[in-house]
Amino acid sequence: MLHPVNASLDEHLPIDHKLSKVYRVGAGLTGLLLIVFGILGLVHRIGFFDTGGDTVLALNTNGALSVLSICIGALLVAGMVIGGTFASTLNITLGLLFIASGFVNLALLDTELNVLAFKIQNVLFSFVVGVMLMWFGMYGRVGSALPHDNPYWRARHPDQAAREERARGGAAAL
């Protein structure tokens, strides 16, 4: 029989928890990559909405995409600094947005609405970054084999967690 789960993805996680390191590293590395890409795009002085073939780090870009990359990169670096559940949730959310962006921009390739100058390599990059951010964000939060000392498992299985805690307390008293 299925029991409703009374925990959500935004359960509280102590900032110093070991899972926070994964969320921070994922957000920080991805944020730095996007900031570097954005800065290199701005340094090349590409037009803001230019849809030409200007490339930076093998990706097509323009001024608008460069500024957007810097802003999202800065948001991810802020998530790295804050850490904890915030960084995890931010990684998941931005990962989903990157994947959605990949699909939207795939549909806009070779049209006049392609204002971010996406090419197929940009679409693939969006998919890869989206999956990577989601993996970093969901690490240790979702899955069928979470360890029983995981705070997310404990929040989703409070009755069993309490039984195990009582059993550990009884064994420690012996």
Q: What is the pLDDT of residues 3-37, one digit of tens each?
A: 555 545 445 555 555 667 777 888 889 999 999 99
Per-residue pLDDT tens over the stretch 142-154: 766 766 676 767 7
**Cβ pair 160, 146 in contact under 8 A:** no
3-state secondary structure 106-134: HHHCCCCCCCCCCCHHHHHHHHHHHHHHH
- What does each C-alpha distance from 115 to 32, 118, 127, 132, 143 come to in angstroms? 24, 8, 19, 25, 38
The answer to pTM > 0.95 is no
- The mean pLDDT value for 93-121 works out to 93
Per-residue pLDDT tens over the stretch 34-71: 999 999 988 877 777 677 768 788 788 888 999 999 99
Per-residue pLDDT tens over the stretch 67-85: 999 999 999 999 999 888 8
Look at 5-14, 30-39, 113-122, 125-134 and tell me which has the smallest mean pLDDT.
5-14
Structure-block tokens of residue 128: 């890869």
| Cβ neighbours of 58 (radius 10 Å) | 8
